Amino acid sequence: MISERRARAIVGINRLTFRDQSKTRGDSALRERLKALAEPWRGFGYRCLGVMLERRAIVANRKKLFRIYTEGGLKVRSRRKKNRSEGRSVPMLVPTRPDER
Q: Does the structure show a pLDDT above 80 at 98?
A: yes
Estimate the share of the chain in helix, then strand, then coil, as percent rounded to the nearest 5.
Answer: 45, 0, 55
The verdict on residue 46 lying in a domain is yes
Are 49 and 40 within 8 A, CB to CB? no
pLDDT at 16: 78
pLDDT at 82: 79
Closest CA to 68 of 87, 49, 54, 92: 49
pLDDT at 21: 64
Q: Does the structure show a pLDDT above 70 at 84?
A: yes
Which structural domain range is residue 40 located in? Answer: 22-75
The verdict on residue 70 lying in a domain is yes
The verdict on residue 84 lying in a domain is no
Q: How far apart are CA 56 and CA 71, in angstroms?
A: 22
The verdict on residue 29 lying in a domain is yes
The verdict on residue 93 lying in a domain is no
Give the count of domains, the chain: 1
pTM: 0.53
Residues 11-56: tens digit of each pLDDT: 888 877 777 666 666 788 888 888 888 888 878 888 889 999 999 9
The verdict on residue 56 lying in a domain is yes
The verdict on residue 71 lying in a domain is yes
Distances (CA, A) of 27 to 31, 34, 95: 6, 10, 74
The verdict on residue 5 lying in a domain is no
